[in-house]
Amino acid sequence: MRVDSLQISHSSRAMFASCPRKLEFRKFYNHSRREESSATLTGSALHKAYQDFLVHKDRERAIFILMMEMPTAYDERPLQPRSIEACYSTLLAMMDFQQYNKFEVAVIDGKPAIEVPFRLRIANFSLEDDRHVPVEYIGYIDVVLFDPKHERFISTDIKTTTRGLSDFTPAYKFDDQQLPYAFVIESALGQPVDQLDVQYMNCVISLDNPQITNLPFVKSRADIEDWARGLALDLQMLKLYYNNNWFPRRVSGCTAYNRTCNAFDFCHSRDSAMIEHMLSFETAQEQRQFDPWIDIELTLETGK
């Protein structure tokens, strides 16, 4: 299961934290099968529709995008939590949300800063000591907004949920997904960023009472450095497992959201040939083309 390079992201780091074997199957055996859920499908549809609205300010166009992106099965039960009707109602509430009217969509690389792809090439790290096996951290920024009054850029993450929390602050205050975006904004501005303004557009999907709230936070340089230290430690642990050809499994990762892990049927085996044979029967999924707008070399304090 040797590789010549490795790409990781926020989601794959979360997968590694949940169960290292999941990451082993995904990244080192190319087990790319993803069991999409109603949450991911409807969330993606709402993202695309609202992101387009931010650029074009065309409500009918955004609604059309939502309808085209929504799974057809979701028009059968209008009262289900993430039905087409509920998502339509939620998109209307998102477009009516007034707090973002004072902002403009930023421009990066001559394009509206929507779904901005970026790559951080880890300069001083290799998965192997005897040969160079580079690691890259990749991701997409939902939206970068510009506040003309205060002349600041704001990284904005769009979140969709059906949870009815009275206060979503604990869900996002220490969330670190947006922290590496500081390096992207630094590169775009051509100057260091001492703090990162982030906000979360939290959208509670509902047919009769969609709720849209904005949760802003200021991330300090210390927060950004904490993210880099955490990534360095994850890479060191990943390297240890990789070079020992042994990734631990965690029982907590066998089920999630009432679903069984899609690697459960062969997770019992440590036989590489058997695992590769079982995976050979799967249909390879088409990979999303990745063409980063921002490509940065990042040095971490990884040790040797």
Q: Which helix (H) or strand (E) holds 298?
A: strand 294-298
Give the per-residue pLDDT at 210. Answer: 97
Query: What type of residue is 296?
Result: I
Q: What is the DSSP letter of 254?
A: S
Mean pLDDT along residues 114-138? 97
Question: Strand 107-108 and strand 152-161: pairing?
Answer: unpaired
Give the per-residue pLDDT at 40. Answer: 87
Give the per-residue pLDDT at 1. Answer: 76
CB 148 within 8 A of CB 141: no
Give the per-residue pLDDT at 257. Answer: 74
Rounded Cα–Cα distance for residues 96 and 167 (Å):
21
Rounded Cα–Cα distance for residues 166 and 48 (Å):
27
Reduced to 3 states, what is the DSSP secondary structure of residue 19? coil
57 φψ region: left (φ > 0), alpha (ψ -120 to 50), beta (else): left
Whether the per-residue pLDDT at 79 is higher than 90: the answer is no
218 φψ region: left (φ > 0), alpha (ψ -120 to 50), beta (else): beta
Mean pLDDT along residues 61-73? 90
Reduced to 3 states, what is the DSSP secondary structure of residue 60? helix
What does the pLDDT look like over 208-217, one tens digit per residue?
999 999 999 9
Give the per-residue pLDDT at 286. Answer: 65
Locus of tokens 């557009």:
201
HSE-CB of 95 using CA atoms within 13 angstroms:
23
Rounded Cα–Cα distance for residues 108 and 185 (Å):
9
pTM: 0.93
CB 82 within 8 A of CB 74: yes
Rounded Cα–Cα distance for residues 293 and 20 (Å):
30
Query: Could you give all domains of the chain from N- to C-terminal order, each with its CATH number?
Result: 6-35+99-298 (3.90.320)
Exposure of 67 by Cβ count < 10 A (0-12 exposed, 13-18 middle, 19+ buried)? middle
Task: Pull the structure tokens for residue 194.
Answer: 């001492």
Q: How confident is the model at residue 278 (pLDDT cuts 50, 70, 90)?
A: confident
